[in-house]
Chains A and B, each alone.
Chain A
Amino acid sequence: KNEVEQSPQNLTAQEGEFITINCSYSVGISALHWLQQHPGGGIVSLFMLSSGKKKHGRLIATINIQEKHSSLHITASHPRDSAVYICAVSMNRDDKIIFGKGTRLHILP
């Protein structure tokens, strides 16, 4: 079993829909990260979470430490949100970073 699991693997939605991407992990972590990889390949960091919830524009990230689960939400989705969203965790024991396989999101106009 992978230490970081994301679901769904692929998601296609209509413009304006509310999007949820999930991330579950099985190890002790010091932080969880959400990154965005654009179709051209560039990767940018969106959020770093160690508890609670963070919001940036139309993006909201939440984490439940007890359940070892995080969600990334996109409100009022737009075609420019089409990208691969990657969950990564920084492990407690050695600060090693483990990346999920990513969720490919496609928003249709």
Chain B
Amino acid sequence: NAGVTQTPKFRILKIGQSMTLQCTQDMNHNYMYWYRQDPGMGLKLIYYSVGAGITDKGEVPNGYNVSRSTTEDFPLRLELAAPSQTSVYFCASSLIYRVNEQYFGPGTRLTVT
């Protein structure tokens, strides 16, 4: 099993551009999550999903959109990128809604200039 995979690993965006961060898991997990990690700060939940077709906002959803058309995929869309979205983004998945059960992807380092 590959676990949780994320692409790309790194990306530089210009202000106002859009992009999609891809996340795929092959563990048949119901729950998927998107976090951002800013330097010196704790992980913040952006969006999560409890199953295909169901998504919900986390703590910091503004400027982002998600979709969950399949169990495996949970892409995160950035529309009109802003410097405040410079961060490291982690996707995670779990069978149940528990931190200790979450499997994290390797992260995507995004810089918006």
Could you tell me which A residues sit within 8 Å of B by CB distance?
Answer: 2, 4, 31, 33, 35, 40-45, 47-48, 86, 88, 90, 95-102
Contacts of A47 in B (CB 8 A): 100
User: What does DSSP make chain A's interface, helix, strand, loop or mixed?
Assistant: strand
A48 and B42 in contact, given A41-B107, A42-B106 (Cβ under 8 angstroms)? no
Q: Tell me if B104 and A101 are in contact (CB < 8 A).
A: no
Known contacts A101-B40, A101-B42: A40-B106 contact under CB 8 Å: yes
Residue of B nearest to A44 (CB): B104
Measured CB to CB, the closest approach of chain A to B3, in angstroms, equals: 10
- Residues of B at under 8 Å CB distance from A? 40-45, 59, 88, 90, 92, 97-102, 104, 106-107, 109
A2 to B43 CA separation, bound complex (whole angstroms): 13
Instruction: Give A42 to B99 CA distance when docked, in angstroms.
Output: 15
Residues of chain B lying within 8 A (CB to CB) of residue A90 = 98-99
Q: List 10 A-B contacts (CB under 8 A).
A: A4-B42, A33-B99, A35-B99, A42-B104, A44-B104, A45-B99, A86-B43, A90-B98, A97-B45, A99-B43
Distance, CA A99 to CA B44, complexed state (A): 7
Which one of B59, B98, B106 has the highest number of Cβ atoms from chain A below 10 Å of its Cβ?
Answer: B98
Kindly identify which residue among B45, B101, B107, B109 contacts A45, using a CB–CB cutoff of 8 Å: B101
Quick check: B41 and A48 within 8 Å, CB to CB? no
| Min C-beta distance of B111 to chain A, whole Å | 15
Given contacts A99-B42, A100-B42, 13 further A-B contacts (CB under 8 A): A33-B99, A41-B88, A43-B104, A45-B102, A47-B100, A86-B43, A88-B42, A88-B43, A88-B99, A95-B97, A96-B59, A98-B42, A101-B41
How many Å from the CB of A72 to the closest CB on chain B?
Answer: 14
- Which residues of the partner chain B approach A4 to less than 8 Å between Cβ atoms? 42
Q: Which of the residues B45, B99, B104 comes within 8 Å of A48, measured between beta carbons? A: B99
A97 touches B99 (CB 8 A): yes
> In the complex, which residue of chain B has the Cβ closest to the Cβ of A3?
B42
What are the nearest 6 A-B pairs in CB distance?
A: A99-B42, A48-B100, A43-B104, A41-B107, A99-B43, A33-B99
